[in-house]
A = this chain, B = another copy of it.
């Protein structure tokens, strides 16, 4: 009982041995992450099309719940760029941005996503995330980064452009560019340039100036806060809001409110598929970073418990004015690098955000949206990585096509279409690859019991014995291929008297393949040719024994290919021995 409680509440595990050392490390990490998270939470809410406070609320209760249920010791849960973009894409289908319905739909989306993640965790469906291949994820993240950056340009220029695809975004930017607000552009461009410089140039500079690596790092992390402070003060002092610079404006000064999602079946029906997509993508992003960071310390992540943790976090977001959250890549790395030892670091971050929500929101009234857009652009362009194209091109063309298609389709048709198509393309390419398996004719390597491809090695063969090694499991997609392949090699006047299928790489024979083998056996029998199998694996053989095939097959099952040859081609074996002796 206690054991199973502890399984579902990992906090009982690490909480018991919580030490003073861990506390001080967690506190330091929490301070750094909080400083990073305050502008990010406002910015990602903006990206999702929600009021700024939704980002802060999404960073309090959800983080606390993840602390209780999650297994990763370094994961920083909260609003992240890709999920914010997916949220905007999903909700703008069902409600007008800026309306109450829009914010409520965000709650419903968080609720659905939370319920799905939680259910998947209880049902132990964590492996579903594997259907997203690494190249598809990489391509999706890169394309999303470009889309997000493009979508933020309107805040930099102070214009009302929009769109879900790259073409829409560019078109809309071009047509509205004439309305550019110069004050906004100056702030936006300056903030963007400053943040890029902080990212690339500041740290080396501070190090050369004699700062310790830790202090230099901290200063670089605080860059966005500096940009926020400077541009807010400038906007307030120079009265730029009256000159058309869009500002964050009134943000309620309160702890997260209790909110209720809209449970109407119509809305749930419309949001179910986007919620599933958000759940899976959020989970994949989160589990990737969690596993990477855990592996560095030899710790383990339980994917199914992670689903429960993220599910709880999203359910929390739904009832406290937030929107879908997940474990973010960059903040988690910062959290880890800053020394976070336990999920308690997350709890302290939540406290920091709660303080901000209760006391600091009046300070961001004059914060220009352009500054927030600049922090997003700089953050997401760090995710854009076209090297994956080069790497996959060199290694595997089918992976290359999957990643290229994902990038192009995401840019051309938006995030939802892009990632769905990427998954489908990966699966279809995999099926196509296995649909025409490598089948090698093998011969005996003189002086050994080994059999190798006749085209790659000097081997002994026997014209009356056709030995084929099938390099793939036999299942419905390639069942007919093997039948055709054997028949192709036995031309009408072929001298072949026996066919041996060497099954060392056959990990499965499904029912369709069994029927194909039966058909092949019938054809060969009618032509007076024997059909034999060799090196059949234990599990495959166990299954074949439950069918009638082994009784109907006109030949034998040999333990090894060598046994088959000793019986079916004894002269060739003797010849090979003679050749080896020469």
A-side residues, CB < 8 A to B, are 127, 130-136, 291-292, 295-296, 298, 300, 391-392, 394-396, 398-399, 426-427, 430-431, 433-438, 453, 456, 471-473, 475-481, 487, 492, 504-505, 507-508, 510-512, 514-516, 519, 522-523, 526-527, 537-539, 543, 546-547
Complex A-B: 6 CB contacts under 8 Å: A127-B436, A127-B480, A134-B515, A134-B516, A395-B514, A456-B538
Asked if B477 and A507 sit within 8 Å, CB to CB, the answer is no
Asked if B134 and A476 sit within 8 Å, CB to CB, the answer is yes
Asked if A523 and B134 sit within 8 Å, CB to CB, the answer is no
Which residues of B sit under 8 angstroms from A543, Cβ to Cβ?
395-396
Expressed in whole angstroms, the Cα–Cα distance for A398 and B473 within the complex equals 15
CB distance from A392 to the nearest CB of B (A): 5
Asked if A481 and B130 sit within 8 Å, CB to CB, the answer is yes
| A511 touches which of B395, B479, B519 (Cβ 8 Å) | B395
Expressed in whole angstroms, the Cα–Cα distance for A456 and B547 within the complex equals 23
Which residues of B sit under 8 angstroms from A514, Cβ to Cβ?
395
Asked if B295 and A522 sit within 8 Å, CB to CB, the answer is yes
Asked if A479 and B298 sit within 8 Å, CB to CB, the answer is no
CB distance from A527 to the nearest CB of B (A): 6
| A476 touches which of B130, B292, B453, B492 (Cβ 8 Å) | B130
Which residues of B sit under 8 angstroms from A476, Cβ to Cβ?
130-134, 136, 426, 430
Which residues of B sit under 8 angstroms from A546, Cβ to Cβ?
394-395
Kindly list the 4 A-B residue pairs having the minimum CB-CB distance in the complex, ordered from nearest: A133-B476, A399-B511, A134-B512, A133-B512
| A537 touches which of B391, B433, B471, B519 (Cβ 8 Å) | B471
Asked if B511 and A475 sit within 8 Å, CB to CB, the answer is no
CB distance from A426 to the nearest CB of B (A): 6
Expressed in whole angstroms, the Cα–Cα distance for A159 and B431 within the complex equals 47
Q: Can you name 13 extra interface pairs (CB under 8 A) apart from A296-B526, A298-B526? A: A130-B435, A132-B476, A133-B477, A133-B510, A133-B512, A134-B476, A298-B492, A391-B547, A395-B514, A430-B510, A504-B505, A505-B505, A505-B537
Asked if B394 and A472 sit within 8 Å, CB to CB, the answer is no
| A134 touches which of B394, B479, B538 (Cβ 8 Å) | B479
Given A507-B471, A511-B395, also A539-B130 (CB < 8 A):
no
Asked if B131 and A477 sit within 8 Å, CB to CB, the answer is yes
Expressed in whole angstroms, the Cα–Cα distance for A281 and B9 within the complex equals 51
Which residues of B sit under 8 angstroms from A291, Cβ to Cβ?
519
CB distance from A326 to the nearest CB of B (A): 18
Which residues of B sit under 8 angstroms from A516, Cβ to Cβ?
134
Which residues of B sit under 8 angstroms from A427, Cβ to Cβ?
427, 431
CB distance from A439 to the nearest CB of B (A): 11
| A519 touches which of B135, B295, B473, B487 (Cβ 8 Å) | B295
| A130 touches which of B426, B478, B538 (Cβ 8 Å) | B478
Which residues of B sit under 8 angstroms from A479, Cβ to Cβ?
130, 133-134
Q: Which of A292, A396, A435, A523 has the most CB of B within 10 A?
A: A396
CB distance from A526 to the nearest CB of B (A): 7
Given A430-B475, A507-B438, A527-B298, also A394-B547 (CB < 8 A):
yes
Expressed in whole angstroms, the Cα–Cα distance for A295 and B483 within the complex equals 11
Asked if A508 and B433 sit within 8 Å, CB to CB, the answer is yes
Expressed in whole angstroms, the Cα–Cα distance for A577 and B214 within the complex equals 58
Expressed in whole angstroms, the Cα–Cα distance for A77 and B422 within the complex equals 39
CB distance from A355 to the nearest CB of B (A): 38
Asked if A431 and B131 sit within 8 Å, CB to CB, the answer is yes
Expressed in whole angstroms, the Cα–Cα distance for A22 and B133 within the complex equals 57
Expressed in whole angstroms, the Cα–Cα distance for A115 and B516 within the complex equals 30
Expressed in whole angstroms, the Cα–Cα distance for A395 and B511 within the complex equals 7
Expressed in whole angstroms, the Cα–Cα distance for A526 and B295 within the complex equals 9
Chain B residue nearest to A287 in the complex (CB): B480
Given A134-B476, A526-B296, also A396-B510 (CB < 8 A):
yes
Asked if A391 and B511 sit within 8 Å, CB to CB, the answer is yes
CB distance from A539 to the nearest CB of B (A): 6
Which residues of B sit under 8 angstroms from A471, Cβ to Cβ?
507, 537, 539
Which residues of B sit under 8 angstroms from A511, Cβ to Cβ?
133-135, 391-392, 395-396, 399
CB distance from A580 to the nearest CB of B (A): 17
Chain B residue nearest to A472 in the complex (CB): B507
Expressed in whole angstroms, the Cα–Cα distance for A527 and B298 within the complex equals 8
| A398 touches which of B127, B481, B510, B522 (Cβ 8 Å) | B510
Chain B residue nearest to A429 in the complex (CB): B510
Expressed in whole angstroms, the Cα–Cα distance for A285 and B240 within the complex equals 73
Which residues of B sit under 8 angstroms from A395, Cβ to Cβ?
511, 514, 543, 546-547
Chain B residue nearest to A432 in the complex (CB): B127
CB distance from A86 to the nearest CB of B (A): 21
Asked if B396 and A538 sit within 8 Å, CB to CB, the answer is no
Which residues of B sit under 8 angstroms from A547, Cβ to Cβ?
391, 394-395
CB distance from A509 to the nearest CB of B (A): 9
Which residues of B sit under 8 angstroms from A504, Cβ to Cβ?
504-505
Asked if A295 and B523 sit within 8 Å, CB to CB, the answer is yes
Asked if A538 and B453 sit within 8 Å, CB to CB, the answer is yes
Chain B residue nearest to A433 in the complex (CB): B508
Which residues of B sit under 8 angstroms from A133, Cβ to Cβ?
475-477, 479, 510-512
